[in-house]
Structures are given as structure tokens and as C-alpha cells.
Amino acid sequence: MSEQSSYLTKNGFLHLREELNYLLKVDRPRVVKDVSWAASNGDRSENGDYIYGKKRLRQIDSRVKYLLTAIEDSKIIDPLEQENKDKIFFGASVEYENLHTSQINMIQIVGVPEVDPKENKISWLSPLSKAILGKQVGDIISFESPSGQIEIEIITIVYR
């Protein structure tokens, strides 16, 4: 089991499994059908549909392989089953204030395959996660990030 993909939240696991099922049962069969049709049109060297279809198949197969490995190598952790909800552990949603900018942010600590900056889901291996794991509401933490030294205060911890 690699450290990079060793943990998933329960929701993250379900999402990855759903994506895998979609790729295997819907997307890949459709692309295979399109490639077969394109191949029947003659010269494949100048057949854009065929070339694109084969490229798309390689992308799908690569993603399927990644998902299978991520799912097989993962320990699934349900944040709702966390016993000590007063401290920050894997799966926690944490609201914090950047004490330099007064900006308030909310993040969730997740496994590497689940990381999604748009959803504020950050890796448990990130500098921020490493700095706040085990901390509690009211704690002030100073840590080094890629953009420099940051000081934050933990406002809320939620497990959902």
C-alpha cells in the first residue's frame, strides 16, 4: 500500500467506485463502439474519429487502472465514526482564520485521490493538513506553506 493512496473517506471511496463503474459500463463501451465504426471507414492513418477514439480509449484505460489501484490500496475511513470529534483527524471539515489576512476558510482533509481544490478538499499530506492534525478549536498554529509562513486559528471542527 503506497502512502499516497492509503486513505479514503467513505464518500470518496463511493465516488471513485461510481466513476469506475461509469467508465467501465458506459463510457468505455460507447468509445469502443465509436472506434469500431471509425475503423470500418477505411484508411485509419487519416481518420480523425479513429485516432481520437483510440486516444480516448487510452485515457479511459489509464484512469480505470488508477481508480482500481486507488480503491484496492485504500483504507476507508468514515468521518462520522470518529470518536474524538474535538480534535482534527482525517476526514474532518475545518474552519480556520488566517491571522495575517483575517480570511476565513473551510477545508476537508481527504485522501490523495479525493483532492479537489474547487470543493476545498485537501490532501492529508499537505502542509496545512500536517500542521492541524490533532489540533482543536481555539488552537493557533504557525506553519510553513509553499507561499511562506502562515499563522491560523482553528474556529470549528465538523465530521460529516
Which tens digit of pLDDT belongs to each residue from 10-48? 999 999 999 999 999 999 999 999 999 988 887 777 788
Host H or E run for residue 52: helix 48-72
* CATH level 2 (architecture), domain 3-76: Orthogonal Bundle (1.10)
Which of 59, 37, 38, 36 is CA-nearest to residue 47?
38
The per-residue pLDDT for range 78-127, each reduced to its tens digit, is 999 999 999 999 999 999 999 999 999 999 999 999 999 999 999 999 99
141-151 pLDDT tens trace: 999 988 899 99
pTM of the predicted model as reported, rounded to 2 decimal places: 0.83
CA–CA distance from 68 to each of 75, 124, 136 (Å)? Answer: 13, 21, 35
What is the location of CATH 3.10.50.30 in the chain? 78-158
Compute the chain's Rg from CA coordinates. 21
Pick the CATH number of 78-158 from 3.90.650.10, 3.40.190.80, 3.10.50.30, 3.80.10.10: 3.10.50.30
Indicate if the pLDDT at residue 68 is higher than 60: yes
pLDDT reading at 1 higher than 50: no
